[in-house]
Chain A
């Protein structure tokens, strides 16, 4: 199971600043660890206009998430960006369902021992504690790239496939396609710094 931690405001606010926002908040893992108060505080400090807010359980369930997106279609349409408070799986589900929308995550996901196997398996989150989805169109290179590279794609990307396994999609090709749809190709010029692999869940 996962533990979720709210990202520092200084990391997220520059990305969403002066954009109208729609907010998703997933409480599905609250029993284990969801930082209810920290998320409320983060949202309370936001100066951006919020067009709507959906609070739900198990955002990682695609059909469930899709139903909420339909229900809040107008508010989401009105928003310029969607901000997701959930684990990395939930953020990837929303990003994949709203491919043409700017989708950002407000959380880092950390590993917590035990309780494995309860979440949906469609997307992978390595629970690395340093969520990178805001720069990669909501597609995770840490979990999905064979070499986990943060400055991809490497020279082994051919016809959208990874050289390591012809049945495997090149995550960085998907990232580029998604960023192109969202007019965010400039993010590819950003130099991804060496990752902190040592992150442990907050106690």
Chain B
């Protein structure tokens, strides 16, 4: 064990891991974290706290993570390179480790153009792969990016993202290999609706032996409405929503679409679970946290092993 992470413990014991996601509020209201956390507690091994997702200003990821931790959950702090240079990133890495947070997910970040402050200056001093390596060197070599030494290292279980559906497809596994070489311990993928394409990607992953070097959590998310499905299909870059998904949701009466969306999510979990090399799922019920207990139960993933009380 590299860290005290519950997620690492679950994965090392070869349990099928479950991570959830919690979006901090665009306000200073701590109650939001508590009310969302109660749907995740006991149902996930750890939960991601997003870092200004879609480039919209929200409560700081580390602060919301700490509030969630106080509710008895294990946080994964997401950290993007959009808003911080290498100085700020390393300061935050030290800070979250000192707060007893055990996991971090390294991301380049959604471009500022997509958010509510599109005229902001993007930082991008380093990219996600360089960030992974920087945190790994801090943890394993006790060195800052400058090469300076530190006395107490940040013991973080290091995550990174992978998008099997972005272009060019042939290169996506090469980029995953680069993240693994840089030091990623676990990977959370883009939301999967095209299971066949994901399976094809996993085949490439296995051919390179990467599933033995890194724990891969398959990204899944329930669809709430036809509008959401269409939006993801046409407007969200890097998402692959096949026509068959739209047809399945269209095939039920309007008031049952969200039920069907939940069933579809459970079906996808069962399908990705059969794919060799998939170590768990990352369930992103964004602004719909209340359905997490039902989905995890229906997928037969309860009780969670060794979830901290």
Residues of chain A having any CB pair with chain B under 8 Å:
146-160, 163-165, 170, 173, 176, 188-189, 191-195, 197
Task: Summarize A's interface: helix, strand, loop or mixed.
Answer: loop
* CB pair A147 B108 closer than 8 Å: yes
20 contacts between A and B (CB under 8 A): A147-B124, A150-B130, A154-B128, A155-B190, A155-B237, A156-B238, A157-B238, A158-B166, A158-B167, A158-B237, A158-B238, A164-B111, A164-B114, A165-B113, A176-B168, A188-B174, A188-B178, A194-B86, A194-B130, A197-B125
How distant is the Cα of A189 from the Cα of B168 in the complex, in angstroms? Answer: 15
* CB pair A163 B127 closer than 8 Å: no
Residues of chain B having any CB pair with chain A under 8 Å:
81-82, 86, 108-109, 111, 113-114, 122, 124-130, 133-134, 145, 161-163, 166-168, 171, 174-175, 177-178, 181-182, 190, 237-238
The residues of A that contact B122 with a CB separation of less than 8 Å are 147
How distant is the Cα of A155 from the Cα of B108 in the complex, in angstroms? Answer: 9
The residues of A that contact B113 with a CB separation of less than 8 Å are 146, 164-165
How distant is the Cα of A152 from the Cα of B111 in the complex, in angstroms? Answer: 14
Beyond A160-B167, A176-B168, A194-B130, 5 additional contacts (C-beta under 8 Å) are: A150-B130, A155-B238, A188-B175, A189-B177, A192-B129
The residues of B that contact A154 with a CB separation of less than 8 Å are 108, 127-128, 166
Contact of A192 among B130, B161, B237 (CB under 8 A): B130
The residues of B that contact A160 with a CB separation of less than 8 Å are 167
A68 nearest CB across to chain B (Å): 33
How distant is the Cα of A154 from the Cα of B86 in the complex, in angstroms? Answer: 19
The residues of A that contact B109 with a CB separation of less than 8 Å are 147
The residues of B that contact A192 with a CB separation of less than 8 Å are 127, 129-130
How distant is the Cα of A158 from the Cα of B233 in the complex, in angstroms? Answer: 13
The residues of B that contact A158 with a CB separation of less than 8 Å are 166-167, 237-238
Query: Given A188-B174, A194-B145, are A155 and B111 also a contact pair (CB < 8 Å)?
Result: no
